[in-house]
Amino acid sequence: MHAELAATDAAHAADSGAQPRTGALVRVEAPARLHLGFLDPSATLGRRFGSLGLVVEGLETVVEAAPADGDRFDAGPGAAEELGRVRAHVQALRRATGCHAGLHLTLARAIPTHAGLGSGTQLALAVGHAFSAAFGLGLDSARISTLLGRGARSGVGIAGFDAGGLLLDGGPRADGSPAALIARLALPPAWRVILVLDPRVRGLSGDQEKSALQTLPPLRREVAADLCHEVLMRLLPGAAGAEFAPFAAGVTRVQRLLAQHFAPAQGGAYASAAVGRVVEWIAAHACAGTGQSSWGPTGFAIVSSLDEARRALASAQAAGVVDPALELRITSARNRGGTIGVSGSGRMRSDPGMPAEPRECKGQVAYDLAPKTI
């Protein structure tokens, strides 16, 4: 566990009467994702939203948890600001499951917030799976998301934790449960993703995001149809057949159409003009699928190889279009989901058949799925 950065609250251990055995340690890693766009945000074709997403390597939220006599919430470097949401998630899980045993939880690492990388959903899933595995509750990702208020519009963050890769969902279901996954593909390992992050800018989220969606005019029916055709007949076939050019063209076309629609809510095609300059330079000088993830400010360029990624960034640097405040990363698609490891000795290992210990809260909810490694 990392050094304690927050005060200890032992109230819930006294409420439950449980006597958890200490020593079982759970470690959950939840990966970031790029949200590549909605298919029909206004339901002009009949079903609202539908999301395309890509899970990426190198940015994860990491939670470690173990039963304890009382509560303690710690954070690693740069993650302390998320402890309030961590506590809120734990309280919501306790109310839903009736499991009030004490918990020592460390948020070891967090995906940058309000950057378009899915940090909120991954934090909720990481905390939820850690809580579930620590007490043997067997909650799956869909149930955790429902309990913690995630997945109301897009299901790619939930599916991204479970499976990784390039993902397409069909929009939220009529009963409000998370969107069903309708396609999942692994991208070729040679392809690379350039991320352009601007720590000075925060993308829309929460009430601001809801307000923006409500005030924008409906996306025209013919544009929604164009988006669906691009995804179904160019982008997904390109990924499935390892054909980079049509895949990249499809990604860029989808992004261009959506940027025109959402620009009035975020002040332009990109939430960060500095990010936009870099991404547009790469788009003009390389074969790449380019755009902005969700509300940004993170921009991306997907290219066919590591050499191509390095050339694109070197060209942008030489042209003077890279603001020194930006963070540039070369990564790749993550063709696997998150991980859940449980250890009784303090040494982590992943084992899909390994039961969670202890089980003092077992049986208080109607879910009995073994903790899993994905």
Q: Any idea where the domains of the chain sit in the sequence?
A: 1-186+334-374, 187-332
Strands (E), the chain: 8-9, 25-40, 49-67, 71-75, 103-109, 166-169, 181-185, 192-197, 289-292, 299-303, 327-331, 339-343
Q: Where does the pLDDT of residue 210 fall: very low under 50, low under 70, confident under 90, or very high at 90 and above? A: confident
- The residue-averaged pLDDT of 103-113 equals 97
Looking at CATH, the fold of the domain delimited by 187-332 is given as: Alpha-Beta Plaits (3.30.70)
CB 144 within 8 A of CB 125: yes
- Give the pLDDT confidence score for residue 118 in this predicted structure: 96
Looking at CATH, the fold of the domain delimited by 1-186+334-374 is given as: Ribosomal Protein S5; domain 2 (3.30.230)
Q: Where does the pLDDT of residue 360 fall: very low under 50, low under 70, confident under 90, or very high at 90 and above? A: low
- The residue-averaged pLDDT of 53-77 equals 97
Burial class (CB in 10 A: 0-12, 13-18, 19+), 362: middle
What torsion do the CA atoms of 203, 261, 286, 194 make, to the nearest 10 degrees? 20
Q: What share of the chain is helix, strand, coil (3-state, %, to 5)?
A: 35, 20, 40
- Give the pLDDT confidence score for residue 151 in this predicted structure: 84
- The residue-averaged pLDDT of 204-224 equals 85
- Give the pLDDT confidence score for residue 59 in this predicted structure: 98
Above pLDDT 70, what percent of the chain? 86
